[in-house]
Amino acid sequence: MNAYIVRRLLLMLPTLLGILFVSFVVVQFAPGGPVERVIAQLSGADTGGTSRISGGGDFAQRAPGQVGAGADAVNSKYRGAQGLDPDFIKKLEKQFGFDKPAPERFFLMVWNFARFDFGQSYFRDVSVLQLMKEKLPVSISLGLWLTLISYLISIPLGIRKAVKDGTRFDTWTSGIIIIGYAIPGFLFAILLIILFAGGSFLNWFPLRGLTSDGWSQFPWYWKIIDYFWHITLPLLSMALGAFATMTLLTKNSFLDEIRKQYVMTARAKGCSERQVLYGHIFRNAMLIVVAGFPGAFVHAFISGSLLIETIFSLDGLGLLGFESILNRDYPVVFGTLYIYSLIGLVMNLISDLTYMWIDPRIDFAAREV
């Protein structure tokens, strides 16, 4: 067991390195960059990037002293840099670390990330780690509640569908599940906003944030009510299709156990259907469902948060990563990517260990990794 865990942990290193390498190479060929963002801001051509972030105007405030009307025009590798002082461009490159060759920047990033040193945000006067600490609770909150809700719906519904396999109940619930899975979460979120958040009909729920202004001054019971009032629409949007896979997985797992010989033996001994279902089938059938909890949480935490956080203005890691990509804030982009990847790899290991803990017959250590 210990040897298997060590091997898995060691395999995480090249996996993380590969993810960072591929992402770093893609960024090198992507159009635009932080230097171009600042140049566009100076020239007034920035349409949204850094202009939306507080602190993004540090260089813009120094523009009058850096852009000289009588300066000789220089050819620059940066679009829109004509007319800017070459020394100012060099200062920008040094500020963002682009005065070093790409291989040196990559290995420096890997060395810093190995020590969880993600550096400073380009356009915010705060460290990347501090930014992620501030945003992480929102994303974790959404992920935990979504996973809990999907399990509370999926397990009873999946068991019921297995017991009623082939009946009208199984047919129409399957239709509802397929439709819910097919509707994009962001589209359903927009529909909920239109219907219930002051769009064209009702104004029952807030449109942004997880808490109201002055939340810290509320009584404890009103804090709880206010929190769930804000999180209702985002969770509904994310949960629409989240329980579909788990429901079908639960159903198929129970169906597979129902057809086994030990179930027929239990019935032959005179056990009631309830005793057979919950006394014999349940533990074996729930193995794959319970062990899949870490993976389900990662899926909810990573996959479901980006668009929903953006639509509902929830200040979590998803929205942070999205804005950082738009603004070419590379330390934040790579920092969030690193954390997402690390959490995913660790949760996959926990999933495998959970399988082994629930059913000792499963031994991943006996196979080649």
Residues 92 and 49 in one domain: yes
pLDDT confidence of residue 50:
41
Report yes or no on 27 lying in a domain: no
Residues 170 and 303 in one domain: yes
Give the residue from 93, 127, 161 where a domain finishes: 127
Residues 287 and 350 in one domain: yes
More confident residue, 26 or 38: 26
Residues 245 and 142 in one domain: yes
Residues 88 and 168 in one domain: no
Residue 296's domain comprises: 129-183+241-366
Residues 341 and 267 in one domain: yes
More confident residue, 25 or 125: 25
Give yes or no for residue 49 having a pLDDT over 50. Answer: no
Burial of 297 by CB count in 10 Å (0-12 exposed, 13-18 middle, 19+ buried)? buried
Residues 348 and 294: beta-carbon distance below 8 Å: yes
Residues 207 and 197: beta-carbon distance below 8 Å: yes
Residues 174 and 318 in one domain: yes
Domain with residue 288: its CATH number is: 1.10.3720.10
Report yes or no on 233 lying in a domain: no
Query: At 197, is the secondary structure helix, strand, or coil?
Result: strand
Give yes or no for residue 58 having a pLDDT over 50. Answer: no
User: Over pLDDT 90: what percentage of the chain?
Assistant: 4
Scored b (16 or more CB within 10 A) or e, 108-133 reads ebeeebeeeebbebbbbeebbbebbe
Mean pLDDT lowest among 35-39, 48-52, 174-178, 184-188? 48-52
Residues 109 and 169 in one domain: no
User: What is the rounded average pLDDT of the residues 361-366?
Assistant: 62
pTM above 0.75, yes or no: no
Report yes or no on 328 lying in a domain: yes
State pLDDT tens for residues 299-332.
766 665 677 888 888 888 878 888 888 888 888 8
Residues 262 and 326 in one domain: yes
Give yes or no for residue 343 having a pLDDT over 70. Answer: yes
Q: How many CB atoms within 10 Å of residue 18? A: 11
pLDDT confidence of residue 83:
60
Residues 153 and 258 in one domain: yes
Summarize the chain as % helix, strand, coil (round to 5): 70, 0, 30
Residues 257 and 243: beta-carbon distance below 8 Å: no
Residues 75 and 116 in one domain: yes
Residues 60 and 82 in one domain: yes
Report yes or no on 282 lying in a domain: yes
Report yes or no on 138 lying in a domain: yes
Average pLDDT score, the chain: 78
Mean pLDDT lowest among 122-126, 162-166, 176-180? 122-126
pLDDT confidence of residue 146:
84
Total domain count, the chain: 2
pLDDT confidence of residue 278:
80
